[in-house]
Amino acid sequence: MSDQPLVSLRNPWFVAGVGITVGIAAFSAVVGLIWLPLAQPDLKLSGIWDAICSAAGVPRATVQDASIKPEFRTSNVVMTSEMLTKPDQVSIGRGATLSQRCAICHGPQGVSDANSPNLAGQFAAVTYKELNDFKAGARVSVVMSPFAAAISDQDMKDVAAYYAYLPRVPSNNLNAGLPAPAIVVTGAPMRNIPPCGSCHGDIDNKAGSPWLGGQSAVYIKAQLQSLASGARRNDISQQMRNVARQMTPEEIDQAARYYAAQP
């Protein structure tokens, strides 16, 4: 027996062992790749080859059926967390010249008391996205929409880079001693409200969420109200409407007053 080679077709144990293993593998492949997929009518497979591909996990593009088109303009900006985070000096310089048009409302240094947003130190991606949305009509403002109508993509990037470059200036309402309200610190987890800072930069920044410190309380309140009512709809896939809708009027007041007093 010990003279017989182990790996040989003449060794019946070897033949049986390998045969059974191969048989099980083949049977399992037929069950897993063909029989089980075809047994699921919901998968709507077109044949054996389709069944094998789908069971093996070959990715395919989503079947496009007729989507319902929106009745209003939505934001068409593609946001990524790295966008506009590396501005060049030329862009900032061009932006400084272009921003003179903005100074009457937003202040020569990007800060004003006109209850319009203070842009000094704002994330470039935010300024860029809002300008885009004004231009596309996804966000509407009597004052801003005409200004944005004719501005080019490069000009928007330059203005955004310039304002991001300016240092944040403490507003006249600065009051660092003001205690933070619960809605800002913890949100309201049972109502789908995360802490404001989890997106707006105090803790973490989600691309497109503005820095809120030092903004006018009137402006913050107006925006939260119009997001809650659905009058403003340029937040991508309702990311801020979902939050604002759940906030009570008192919480909106508290958050607006708190952020107006922050640097």
Partner 1 sequence: MATETEHSPGEAVTARIERRWATLSIIIVGLLVGMAAYIGIHQATMPQGHVETADPKTLHLAGEFIESNLGSAVEADGSVTVRAIGQQYSFTPQCVVVPSETPVTFRATSADVVHGFLIEGTNINTMLVPGYVSALQVRFKAPGEHMMPCQEFCGIGHQGMWGKVKVVDKAAFLNMAAAKRRLTCVD
Q: Which residues bind partner 1 (CB under 8 A)?
A: 1-3, 20, 24, 27-28, 31-32, 35-37, 39-40, 42-43, 45, 54-55, 57-65, 67-71, 74-76, 78-80, 187-190, 192-195, 197-199, 203-204, 206, 236-239, 242-243, 245
Find the shortest distance in angstroms from Cβ 137 to partner 1. 15
Q: Shortest approach of partner 1 to residue 25 CB, angstroms?
A: 11
Q: List beta partners, residue 205.
A: 200
**Nearest-approach distance from CB 249 to partner 1, in angstroms:** 15
- The distance of closest approach from Cβ of residue 157 to partner 1 in the complex, given in angstroms and rounded to an integer, is 18
Closer CB to partner 1, residue 1 or residue 6? Answer: 1
Angle (CA) 17-22-23 rounded to 5° is 95
Q: With contact defined as beta carbons under 8 Å apart, do 222 and 253 qualify? A: no
Spatial separation of the C-alpha atoms in residues 220 and 228, rounded to whole Å? 12
Which residue lies nearer to partner 1 by CB, 107 or 187? 187
Give the residue with the Cβ less far from partner 1, 27 or 49: 27
Nearest to 173 by CA among 214, 212, 211, 210: 214
Residue 174 identity:
L
Q: Report the greatest alpha carbon distance in the chain.
A: 100
Give min distance, CB of 101 to partner 1, in A. 29
SS3 assignment for 83-107:
CCCCCCHHHHHHHHHHHHHCHHHHC
Q: By C-beta, is 54 or 225 nearer to partner 1?
A: 54
* Residue number, 124 or 138, with CB nearest to partner 1: 138
Between CA 227 and CA 83 the distance in angstroms is 24
Cα–Cα distance for residue pair 168/120, rounded to 1 Å = 5
How near is the Cβ of 171 to partner 1 at its closest, in Å? 26
Our CB check for partner 1 shows the closer of 74 and 109 to be: 74
